[in-house]
Amino acid sequence: MKWLLFIILGWSFAEATWGWTYHYSNNTMTWYMARKWCQEHFTDMVVIQNQTENDYIVSILPNRTNSPYYWIGLTKEHINETWKWVGNNSTWVGEHSWAENEPNNNHITAFCVEIYINSGQNRGKWNDENCAKNKSPVCYKAQCNDSSCVKGSCWETLNSTACLCTDGYEGDKCQTAVQCPPLPQPSNGNYSCSKEGQIFNSTCHFKCHLGFFMIGSSAVTCAANGHWTGPRPVCTSYKQALLAVAGCGALCSFFCICFCCIRHRKKKKRAQDRLVLHREPEDATSPPSDVNGGTSGNTLTP
């Protein structure tokens, strides 16, 4: 529910939300003086992040029938530059933010922006204006501070404040480190971790008992995604290792012998096929013989 907070200065009041608060003054001043006033009493001149926030600010500021209206924190230094918001250098400009035919840079140096708060068709629209003109400042006061988020950055939007956690942390204030699943005690060995609870950035080192040696990496680390890096090492005895090596060697030998036998058979088969192909033409060209072993045909006697 909206509520008005009148501050001690008397000539200004604030509209409070769950996130930051908005403030304005009835006194008029140049854009640069207006920003200085906002920085002295609050955080800075108002920064509008989207159309919803623009509409909200319009709804809490009192109407004025004509100029001077209100300064907002949108500016640039040169005519060819892009409009930027103070503080965060955001360049957000909505599709219908500017009043009709604006920005037109009528004053050549119209590098500051006012917002129309009236009952006309330009209500809530923006106009580029000479920074030396006197208008009322609109400011905001941030609710975020150094202690708002333990391991992250505080982000404020309309009616909300949230912590954007850095990798490896979670919770409403980013106060909790990501925890990895408990590591099982390895067979024939043990481990010790650099941090209790096996949390983010904790490294656990494995050691094997006497008579056993390690296969795999001797350390794993809890990553930001809540998983351990790499597979778990295994502790094995020298006897088991020798049996494994012997078994692996026997298996390799078996496959090698099978491969060689198959290759030899294929080679022998190809040699036989070549021999058959070589003999067939000779048989086809030789003359047929008779039953007595001679060649067939008529013999002429003199």
Cα gap 212→208, rounded to integer Å? 6
Q: pLDDT category, 248, cuts 50, 70, 90?
A: low
- Give every CB contact of residue 41 below 8 A, 6+ residues apart in sequence: 9, 12, 23, 139
Residue 22 vs residue 287, higher pLDDT:
22
The ranges of the chain annotated as CATH 2.10.70.10 are 178-266
The ranges of the chain annotated as CATH 3.10.100.10 are 4-141
Judge whether residue 289 has pLDDT over 70: no
Question: Is the bond preceding 103 in cis, omega lying within 30 degrees of 0?
Answer: yes
- Indicate the CATH number for domain 178-266: 2.10.70.10
Q: pLDDT category, 154, cuts 50, 70, 90?
A: confident
Lowest mean pLDDT among 10-14, 130-134, 218-222: 10-14
Count the Cβ atoms, other than its own, within 10 Å of residue 174.
20
- Give every CB contact of residue 187 below 8 A, 6+ residues apart in sequence: 234, 235
Judge whether residue 299 has pLDDT over 50: no
The pTM of this model reads 0.55
Fold entry, domain 4-141: Mannose-Binding Protein A; Chain A (3.10.100)
Q: pLDDT category, 287, cuts 50, 70, 90?
A: low
Q: pLDDT at position 9, please? A: 32
Taking residues 214-230, what's their average pLDDT? 92
Lowest mean pLDDT among 75-79, 84-88, 104-108, 150-154: 104-108
